[in-house]
Amino acid sequence: MLSKQIIAAARGRGFVAGKNARAALSMTRGWEIASPYTRRAKFHSTSLIQAETVKVPQMAESITEGTLKTWSKQVGDSVAADEEVATIETDKIDVSVNAPQAGKIVELLAKEEDTVTVGQDLFRIEPGESSSSSSDPTPKEQKTEEKPEELSKGSKTKDSEEPKDQQVQKGAPPPPPPAKEDKQQMITPEAKKDKPKEKSGAATPAAETPKAPGSRNETRVKMNRMRLRIAERLKESQNAAASLTTFNEIDMSSLISLRAKYKDEILKTHEIKLGFMSAFARACSLALREIPAANASIEGDEIVYRDYVDLSVAVATPKGLVTPVVRNAESMGFLDIEREIAALGKKARDGKLTLEDMTGGTFTISNGGVFGSLYGTPIINLPQAAVLGMHAIKDKPVVVNGEIVIRPIMVVALTYDHRLLDGREAVTFLVRVKEYVEDPRKMLLV
């Protein structure tokens, strides 16, 4: 549905003078006011139609991606509502992606043989077909005036949920996204139907964009297996561990200057991108040496201490959060850690992580900072004892040697299991990490 302002603007009137008053009046008195304009506005409306983006649909339980196998239609082709546009194959399922409404394909957003994920944008369609025999995709550019009754017969689909009086597209909430009716008819041409049947105060139903005020559509999506498992483990963690979080701030200026100084050289010589994760990983390994309880786990009624550190690094993949493990991180230097993390990250994004890659960590580092978080309380990855959460680096005024200076500050959070760690140990651990990161040279002295 085009908003009245747009219609009025298209008509070039009613907007310059007394714009607010007129618009306000339109809003309150609905189509009564707007209708003289709308009846003529239909000739201008084609240029204001937005193309709709169609996404990869849900395929089957626990399936999150597939291979786009064929485009049955190409750019410029006209399609009828529900006609097949592409097929995706995944795990023995052939999934047909159909046009949500009649129109013309304007853009294909993936290539044949690409791996596509559920929810990814797949193609764009410009609604434009107005023939009443909707199964016949004749490429008519301009919609013709049609009687609303024809329309209701014209939508040959079996989806008869939409009430028939939606033909009179006046302020009534527009149909949910896969609208079977022709959207062009929103500007009701029939004078006799121009009764202000305003049901809701929604005077500007935007029918072109499917999300309109007043739409009460629900979509039920079954949780995929990964999400179910994540949910299970998170609850388990919350129930089993006595979790507390302690915070601290780290002055990142020293680390930032180290990185700035050496990253190009390292990239050239070793082809590794130097990030902050390696510094934190190393700092944590050293601190864990001092506070071994943070590297331990409870098994039954025993505490298991380890002399190695297997670091779980949280990586966000399209499928969800995974935590691949960097083994024996305590004996790795910055470069080795970065290399390993990059390799695991790539495996994760390619979906090639195995179960062994993901189990058995002794400590977790999670970086919420890439998304911009300031503070946060990470959740413990059972059966570990603690998890370090890194957050965004922000320039803040701090006091150094009695003076106020601007420094890049990162808040770090340590959520720990009180059954294993006391407050003193947890805080000491975090303080050690802070000291190592604030002055990386200290890491050489230990």
> Catalytic residues, which ones?
418, 422
Q: Which is nearer to other proteins, 114 or 336 (CB)?
A: 114
Distance of CA 225 to the CA centre of its chain: 18
In our burial notation (b when 16+ CB lie closer than 10 A, e otherwise), range 114-137 reads eebebeeebbbbbbbbbbbebeeb
Cα–Cα distance, 196 to 106 (Å, whole number):
36
Q: Which is nearer to other proteins, 94 or 265 (CB)?
A: 94
Tokens of 40: 């003529």
CA angle 94, 100, 103 (to 5 degrees): 115
Q: Which is nearer to other proteins, 81 or 252 (CB)?
A: 81
Please give the biggest Cα pair distance in the chain: 88
Q: Which is nearer to other proteins, 70 or 120 (CB)?
A: 70
- Note the residues at the interface with other proteins (CB under 8 A): 59-61, 69-70, 82, 84, 87, 89-96, 98, 112-113, 158, 220
Cβ 79 vs Cβ 137: under 8 Å: yes
Cα–Cα distance, 355 to 352 (Å, whole number):
10
Q: Nearest distance from residue 350's CB to other proteins, in Å?
A: 17
Q: Nearest distance from residue 225's CB to other proteins, in Å?
A: 11
Q: Nearest distance from residue 180's CB to other proteins, in Å?
A: 11
Q: Nearest distance from residue 58's CB to other proteins, in Å?
A: 8
Residue 123 phi/psi, 5-degree rounding, is -155, 165
Distances (CA, A) of 125 to 75, 80, 104, 136, 315: 9, 11, 5, 17, 34
Q: Which is nearer to other proteins, 69 or 289 (CB)?
A: 69
- Secondary structure in 3-state letters for 341-368: HHHHHHHHHCCCCCHHHHCCCCEEEEEC
Cβ 426 vs Cβ 294: under 8 Å: yes
Tokens of 243: 């979790």
Q: Nearest distance from residue 214's CB to other proteins, in Å?
A: 24
